[in-house]
Amino acid sequence: MLTSQKAHGGRLAAFLLLVLPLAVYILVYLVPLGGIVSLSVDNRGLSDRFPALRAAFAQGGAGTADGRAAALLQDLAGLDAKARGETARMLNQEISGFRSLLLDTGRDAATIAPTMAALVAFDPRWGDPTYWEVIERNIPALSLRNFQKVTGLKTGPDGGLTIAQGDDIYLRIMLRTLVIALQVTLLTLLIGYPLAYAIANGSRRLGTFILMVVLLSFWTSILVRTTAWVVLLQTNGLLNNLLLWLGVVSEPLQLIFNRFGTLVAMTHVLLPFAVIPMMNVMRTIPAAQNQASRSLGAGGVETFLRVYFPQSLRGVVVGGGTVFILALGFYVTPALVGGPGDQMLSYYIADFVRKTLNWGMASALSVLLLGGVLGLLAIYGSARWVMTRRKEGV
Amino acid sequence: MARSIFWISTVLCLAFLALPLLLVLPLAFNTSSFLTYPMEGFTFAWFGEVFGQPSWTKAIWNSVKVAAGAMALAVLIGGLAATGVTLTGRVLQMVLSALFVSPVVVPSIVVAVAFAYAFGRAGLSGSYASLVLAHAILGAPLVFLSVLTSLRGLDPDLDRAAASMGASRLHRFRHVTLPLAAPGFLAGALFAFITSFDEVVVALFLAAPESTTLPIALFSGLRDRLQPTIVVVALLLSLVSLLFLLAMGQMQKRGAAASRN
């Protein structure tokens, strides 16, 4: 009796405590995130302009030809010049030539008799089923139009998927994002490993000192550290002046607004995220193992390669994974030190919102980025689960 | 040979990590307006310029206001969430913890777009409230983790002892659990404050000209023209981070001393 009352009280207390945080998280966080997922497939901008045609297509069997023609004319007559222009522009992205067809038909919609024969007589292109298929594909309230544009994939007349030449711009940007993230990951691991090693195995004073520098860097804003690199790398900046003074180069090098600057600054900014996990793992490697290996006759380098390094790999994987995932979504650093050819996916997301207010495309790219990050986390989580199970010998 | 490899690699990597800020930040005191060495003379003039320009002072004030508001809200929701999940069953605790921590892993550009659209539709765009709400969501996971860690570290016997003496659940929470978990709340509050104070991407999408925060002002300054005032602002932001780290260090020291007693 007493225990059930206690458990009941616990549940009530948990409920009371969690109501407010859950409400805030749902309203301010989950709903906005869900909002961009639905925005990415939201086609109401186009579909709301064809209510009659939508009804005609929904009737099954796509209705009769005359029914479709009448519905199209009715919908077009209902649009003002501006809406007609926007619609024509959107459909023209699917087949070129649709723009003039829709604009001409729309202008005279009131005068054309509502039959297919009259429509074809007005413009023979309406006799071509391709145009009708494009309309049918593009008027549902939900569509993958944005994702098609992002991937450059188009449904051909036979229903198969093709990538048109030059339409793969976002695929290339995604590839570039992956490549930069991978390069930065390798660089941070390369530079971070000796630091983590020194913290874990150096003298106490050295370890504390390096850890302080790493933590200070970790908590210094990304923007401040990027600022430092802008000042260092600019054409008449510190690094170029040093190189000129040393006589290494005769004229300033272009160090900023290119891939070099992007990689250097991003590596610097993300370095602590690689060092801290590696350090944590290295601290658990018993020093006695190294001594044992040395006493059995292995040299310092061999001991490191065969005894120490394999055990530190877990930290390398965690650190590298963290850096890679963070690098995928980077915006500030490439935007400030990169050139046009070094911008990552985030830059184009920001661009769609800030320049053209194209929320659909921004959302579609965001959904892909988020999906990529969550997918990587899922892989990482399950790998860890498998590893711990194996260690437990289950 | 192993020793020389150790020292050379350590020194080089440490230099890469530490030198950029060590070299650049002193230029805030350089008399010349060119951001390079050798320094021509020592001056505080650029500081005067930053504190004399309304665009910078307003941004500083906005940042403090937003960070304070975001911190308060993050401590409230993160603290409540952490206390609440300790009372739930194992599965629910895992699911809820994943939810409460998740804003940390979502790329900031994605939450920025989501916030910008949602707040725009709610009629909050550009407002102080939108920045506080967004930054509170970014800070809440840190409060959550920090409070949860300190709650889990508590000795359950203390709560049981209080219960055996007839203290009610609420009384025990207020007079036993909360004071013992206070360092977790305080650390979480500091995390939330600094997260908001340094945040760029979300603020870039939400801030209107009147609600511009210091990082946004610095970001646009960098894209506009490089001048010593920018280094001054960078130095000020680093000082805030340094203060934060010192405060955390103090708290850890005190926590260690308290647990020893």
Evaluate if residue A4 carries a pLDDT over 50. no
Domain count, chain B: 1
User: What is the CATH number assigned to the segment(s) A172-392?
Assistant: 1.10.3720.10
What's the rounded mean pLDDT across residues B177-193?
90
Evaluate if residue A72 carries a pLDDT over 90. no
Across chain A, which distance is largest between two alpha carbons, in Å?
A: 99
Mean residue pLDDT of chain A comes to 86
Q: What is the CATH number of the domain that holds B233?
A: 1.10.3720.10
pLDDT of residue A1: 36
From the centroid of its chain, how far is CA B240?
A: 10
Evaluate if residue B222 carries a pLDDT over 60. yes
Which of B78, B109, B237 shows the shortest C-beta gap to A331?
Answer: B109
> ∠ CA B158-B163-B166 to the nearest 5 degrees?
140
C-beta separation of A229 from A264 below 8 A: yes
Best A28, A358, A370 member to test B by mutation, with max B CBs in 10 Å, is A28
pLDDT of residue A130: 82
**Contacts of residue B237 in chain A, CB cutoff 8 Å?**
220-221, 223-224
What's the rounded mean pLDDT across residues A258-264?
95
Q: What is the pTM of this model?
A: 0.87
Residue B37 domain-assigned (yes or no): no
Angle between the A259-282 and A222-233 helix axes, to the nearest 10 degrees? 130
Angle between the B90-101 and A2-25 helix axes, to the nearest 10 degrees? 20
Structure tokens at B169: 């659940």
Q: What residues does each domain of chain A span?
A: 2-42, 46-140, 172-392
Evaluate if residue A227 carries a pLDDT over 60. yes
What's at A109, amino acid-wise? A
pLDDT of residue A293: 85
Per-residue pLDDT of A328-361, as tens digits, reads 999 999 999 999 889 999 999 999 998 888 888 9
Question: Among B108, B4, B252, which residue's Cα sits nearest to residue A301?
Answer: B4
What's the rounded mean pLDDT across residues B105-123?
94
A262: confidence class by pLDDT, cuts 50, 70, 90: very high
Residue B6 domain-assigned (yes or no): no
Evaluate if residue A376 carries a pLDDT over 60. yes
**Contacts of residue B16 in chain A, CB cutoff 8 Å?**
191, 268, 271
CB–CB of B2 and A366 under 8 A? no
pLDDT of residue A168: 79
Best B21, B85, B109, B238 member to test A by mutation, with max A CBs in 10 Å, is B109
Which of A14, A31, A346 shows the shortest C-beta gap to B107?
Answer: A346
A18: confidence class by pLDDT, cuts 50, 70, 90: very high
Per-residue pLDDT of A238-254, as tens digits, reads 888 888 888 888 888 89
Buried (b) or exposed (e) across A341-362, using 16+ Cβ within 10 A? Answer: ebbbbbbbbbbbbeeeeebbbb
Which residues 126-155 in chain B show a CB within 8 A of chain A?
133-134, 136-137, 140
A162 vs chain B: nearest CA distance in angstroms? 29
d(CA B70, CA B135): 5
Residue bearing tokens 């949602």: B118
Q: For residues A324 and A77, which has the higher predicted lDDT (pLDDT)?
A: A324
Per-residue pLDDT of B8-60, as tens digits, reads 999 999 999 999 999 999 999 988 888 887 788 899 999 999 999 999 999 99
Cα separation values, B224 from A266, B59, B183, B217, Å? 21, 17, 42, 10
pLDDT of residue B59: 94
Evaluate if residue A3 carries a pLDDT over 50. no
Share of chain B above pLDDT 70, in %: 98
CB–CB of A202 and B10 under 8 A? yes
Question: Among A358, A339, A336, A340, which residue's Cα sits nearest to residue A349?
Answer: A358
Give the dihedral of Cα atoms B222, B225, B229, B235; nearest 10 deg.
30
For chain A, what is the radius of gyration of the CA atoms? Answer: 30
A365: confidence class by pLDDT, cuts 50, 70, 90: very high
B102: confidence class by pLDDT, cuts 50, 70, 90: very high
d(CA B82, CA A239): 48
Mean residue pLDDT of chain B comes to 90
Best A3, A211, A223 member to test B by mutation, with max B CBs in 10 Å, is A223
d(CA A46, CA A136): 11
Please name the helix (run of DSSP H) or strand (run of DSSP E) that holds residue A198, with its range, or none.
helix A169-201
A15: confidence class by pLDDT, cuts 50, 70, 90: confident
Per-residue pLDDT of A297-333, as tens digits, reads 888 788 888 888 999 999 999 999 999 999 999 999 9
Per-residue pLDDT of B173-183, as tens digits, reads 788 888 888 88
The domain in which residue B114 lies consists of 42-260
What's at B173, amino acid-wise? F
C-beta separation of B196 from A36 below 8 A: no
CB–CB of B109 and A234 under 8 A? no
A161: confidence class by pLDDT, cuts 50, 70, 90: low
d(CA B129, CA B115): 12
Residue B61 domain-assigned (yes or no): yes
Structure tokens at A26: 């749902």
C-beta separation of A363 from A40 below 8 A: yes
Residue B189 domain-assigned (yes or no): yes
Residue B140 domain-assigned (yes or no): yes
Running DSSP on this structure, what letter comes out for residue B102? Answer: G
Per-residue pLDDT of B59-89, as tens digits, reads 999 999 999 999 999 999 999 999 999 888 8
Which of A24, A194, A363 shows the shortest C-beta gap to B77?
Answer: A24
pLDDT of residue A131: 83
* Residue B207, φ and ψ in degrees, nearest 5: -75, 135
Question: Among A140, A46, A146, which residue's Cα sits nearest to residue A98?
Answer: A46
Buried (b) or exposed (e) across A93-102, using 16+ Cβ within 10 A? Answer: ebbeebbebb
CB–CB of A231 and B10 under 8 A? no
B261 vs chain A: nearest CA distance in angstroms? 25
Residue B249 domain-assigned (yes or no): yes
Evaluate if residue A276 carries a pLDDT over 70. yes
A121: confidence class by pLDDT, cuts 50, 70, 90: confident
C-beta separation of B143 from B73 below 8 A: no
Share of chain A above pLDDT 90, in %: 41
A248 vs chain B: nearest CA distance in angstroms? 18
Best A17, A173, A240 member to test B by mutation, with max B CBs in 10 Å, is A17
